[in-house]
Structure 1
Amino acid sequence: MKAERGIFITFEGIDGSGKSTQARRLAEALRDAGHEVVLTREPGGSEGAEQIRSLVLEGDPDRWSPETEILLFTAARRDHLEKRIWPALEEGKIVISDRFADSTRMYQGLSRGDLREQVDGLHAMMIGTEPDVTFVIDMDPGVGLARAKGRQGTEERFEDFGEGLQRQMRQGFLDLATEHPERFLVIDGARAMDEVAADVLRLALERLSEAGARQPVEVQ
């Protein structure tokens, strides 16, 4: 059986902050260093959660109420945990997720309504898992939104709420980092991509070392 529980790392930030790129680059760097890594995303990451992803990220901004969004995101997250995150952690792997519950705390719990209590209640009841480390890639909201809109994809429902939402989100993530300094690491995303990636890797390796993370070994 596996001797070590894995490490759960998440990336958070406003739309267009570069967190998806940094999550991918960290996964590549850790694999190169010999770690077993699962790279995933939210909403999504499992078959059922990916189906819900299209429901919440596409269409008119007013397609769902904040309350309905909370239920949809929680359902997607539960399936993601059951099918992918929990099994990988039990196998001793490092799981890196582009977004997790902190995004729901911000997008639905803060800016789409004063619903943080409901978000936290559902999280405690149905999820009950927090990351070991959360990187917040911090970015000016105007710059981030321009980047996000420049992708010209179909998943732009939250970008369509405008810069005001992004400003609330940025401050909300920074407030969460102050509230939970033991888990959050805030990274200045307004720099060259390689600089940001180097900082993320250095800090991730420090946290993995502190946690005693290593390749899981077989116990006879």
Structure 2
Amino acid sequence: MTFEGGEGSGKTTQIARLAGHLRSEGHDVVTTREPGGSPGADALRHVILSGAAEGLGVEVEAMLFAAARADHVDTLIRPALDAGKIVLCDRFHDSTRVYQFLDSELDQDYRDAMERAALGDLLPNLTIILDVPASVGVERARQRRADHSPDRFEKEDEALHERRRQAFRKLAEDEPERCVIVDGTQAEDKVAAEIRDLIDDRLGAARFEAIGQSLGAGQAIR
């Protein structure tokens, strides 16, 4: 499961809360983030977020994101999924679609090629898009800056953040089976409860489907 949204949308907080809930229900949960999440990807994280890669051009920067994601998928995400764990990721390929390809001269064929190289056949089962107006998210990010220096994306103007917000909303419109929008302006507890109920429903449906498949195959259910 992936969490997406603009700066200050509350992804990190909600991932931590959902992970705690799922663990209390007996699930083995891995939380991770992008860019980063594995040694190789973390090595590229500083280059990307510091702005050092900007001078290399958007095409090279997209390649760096793809390389970081490929390492993240191969060394952390796939092994965790193969072991039956639930993976919660703070940003994934949708952020690259929005942050690197919005207002870019790079075309969709190039984007799709980068995604195939990084992901293979792996896509999230569910993507939660935390939606907040850019003005709200930017203000939250400003308040957070008391603890750390803003990265290159947090420094960008509010109008660009709003265009990215709309791009995330368009992704949800285009892929409604995978993407669900949650109003991130609600109180933190209310957002957490909405996400928890959504995930519990999805997991319950998945269990029911698995039982049905087992019965159809004539396997005993204990």
AA of the residue aligned to 1:139: V
Cα shift readout 1:23-55 (whole Å, capped 9, x = no counterpart) = 111111101111000000001110111111111
Cα shift readout 1:114-156 (whole Å, capped 9, x = no counterpart) = 4443122211233122100000000010110121132222351
| Partner residue of 1:47 out of 39, 56, 71 | 39
Stretches of structure 2 that go unaligned for 5 or more consecutive residues are: 211-222
Check 1:76–1:125 CA distance in 2 against 1; reply closer, same or farther (3 A cut).
closer
Contact 2:47–2:53 at 8 Å: present in 1 too?
no
| 2:41 aligned with 1:34 | no
AA of the residue aligned to 1:183: R
Residue in structure 1 matched with residue 140 of structure 2 by the alignment = 147
| Partner residue of 2:125 out of 129, 132, 136 | 132
| Partner residue of 2:80 out of 56, 79, 88 | 88
Residue in structure 2 matched with residue 218 of structure 1 by the alignment = none
Residue in structure 2 matched with residue 4 of structure 1 by the alignment = none
Report SS of the residue matched to 1:146: helix
TM-score by length of 2: 0.87
Residue in structure 2 matched with residue 160 of structure 1 by the alignment = 155
Q: How far does residue 62 in structure 1 lie from its aligned partner after superposition?
A: 4.2
Q: Distance in 2 between matches of 1:25 and 1:112?
A: 35
TM-score by length of 1: 0.88
Q: Distance in 2 between matches of 1:61 and 1:161?
A: 16
Q: How many residues align?
A: 206
Pairwise CA RMSD? 1.8
Cα shift readout 1:167-187 (whole Å, capped 9, x = no counterpart) = 111111110001000001100
Report SS of the residue matched to 2:30: strand
Residue in structure 2 matched with residue 195 of structure 1 by the alignment = 190
Q: Distance in 2 between matches of 1:38 and 1:58?
A: 26
Report SS of the residue matched to 1:212: helix
Stretches of structure 1 that go unaligned for 5 or more consecutive residues are: 1-8, 215-220
Report SS of the residue matched to 1:159: coil
Residue in structure 2 matched with residue 57 of structure 1 by the alignment = 49
Residue in structure 1 matched with residue 218 of structure 2 by the alignment = none
Report SS of the residue matched to 1:110: coil
